[in-house]
Amino acid sequence: MFRLLACSAVLTATALATLSPLTTTRADDKFTTIGSIDRKDPKLDQLIPKDAKIEVVAAGFKWTEGPVWDKKEGALLFTDIPNNRVMRWSPKDSLKEFLKPSGYTGTTEFKGPEPGANGLTFDKDGNLILCQHGDRRVAKLGKDGKFITLADKYQGKRLNSPNDLVFNKAGDLYFTDPPYGLPGQMKDPAKELDFQGIYRLKPNGDLTLLTKEMSRPNGIGLSPDEKTLYIANSDPDKAVWMAFPIKDDGTLGTGKLIHDSTAEAKAGKPGLPDGLKVDQKGNIFATGPDGVFVFAPDYSYLGKIVIGNRNANCGWGDDGSTLYICANDKLVRVKTTTKGLGF
């Protein structure tokens, strides 16, 4: 049985003892800082102040992902995938375990390294929606604490391991489905689909495959006008971000390259294109080799929030101007002068 911890519950010493030492910083403490801001274009100064710092909010996890801000609670939820849990951090209450298990609810031992939930978001009714690696589905956390399957099969075949997701205003859910949650990934004997898809799930449950042309679709986002779908491809041989026009009938047009970071990945920069988020003006903040890349609405490269480590995903929080970044075993943040979509 999973545990949904109340907001007032504290992560116990017993639970902490079984994991890497966790550290967290309260709002009135001085944050440790890391990294730097690499400014390629003066336009970046309009988004990230010149004196901006990369602050370490919490550390000691195995692999963090899926940051999403809970506006009602004033807290950030994020996943610790190998430990099969969702964590909660707030300026008021600091760090707590929120949900376990988060992505694999089976009774037998999970053989792979990534059983937990990956991407997280909220629907229009405030329900938490999870990409569950181990259970190979997109699910909703019900008010009763039980998971409700939203999508787990395409044309009768099980999905690989849904990774990241985004809603449009009409309630359509777009999500990616690479193989990273499968113990054997591409060679896993339980893999039923011979491609890695990008899907749209309608509120009525209809699931449509939009494209299977990307080798490792990962992070996903929408432009402010919802006419373009952004996708990160976490393939070391094709480490790119793409933009796909969304046609009036909901299908995708021919993709356009936003940026190619393959050379950086092959040169040894840690990480690959992964999660991404968009601000209200259409700027794209995308985790990739060595940090978070920032692209203007016309896809020009403005610069990078350099972390110096692998980065999984990012998400807007607080009043919408703070960018929280899941950086390997850490949760870090950067205060910006822009605001994310949805705030």
Exposed / middle / buried, residue 275 (Cβ in 10 Å: 0-12, 13-18, 19+): buried
Residue 56 pairs in a beta bridge with 32, 332
pLDDT value at residue 15: 34
**Boundaries of domain holding 143:** 3-28+62-272
Sequential DSSP letters for 214-274: -SSEEEEEE-TTS-EEEEEEEETTEEEEEEEEBPTTS-B---EEEEE-HHHHHTT-S--S-
Residue 301 within any structural domain of the chain? no
Instruction: Decide if 26 contacts 91 (C-beta within 8 A).
Output: yes
Residue 285 within any structural domain of the chain? no
pLDDT top residue among 340 and 7: 340
Q: What is the mean pLDDT of the chain?
A: 93
Residue 326 within any structural domain of the chain? no
Residue 234 within any structural domain of the chain? yes
- Domain count for the chain, please give it: 1
Residue 55 within any structural domain of the chain? no
* pLDDT greater than 90 at residue 20: no
Q: Which helix (H) or strand (E) holds 17?
A: helix 13-17
pLDDT value at residue 28: 52
Q: What is the CATH number of the domain that holds 125?
A: 2.120.10.30
Share of the chain above pLDDT 90, in %: 91
Residue 235 within any structural domain of the chain? yes
Instruction: Decide if 221 contacts 276 (C-beta within 8 A).
Output: yes
Instruction: Decide if 129 contacts 164 (C-beta within 8 A).
Output: no
Residue 42 within any structural domain of the chain? no
For residues 264-285, average pLDDT: 98
Place 12 in a pLDDT band, splitting at 50, 70 and 90: very low
Coil, strand, or helix at residue 124?
coil
pLDDT value at residue 2: 42
pLDDT tens digits, residue range 217-258? 999 999 999 999 999 999 999 999 999 999 999 999 999 999
Residue 19 within any structural domain of the chain? yes
Phi/psi for 97 (5° steps) reads -80, 130
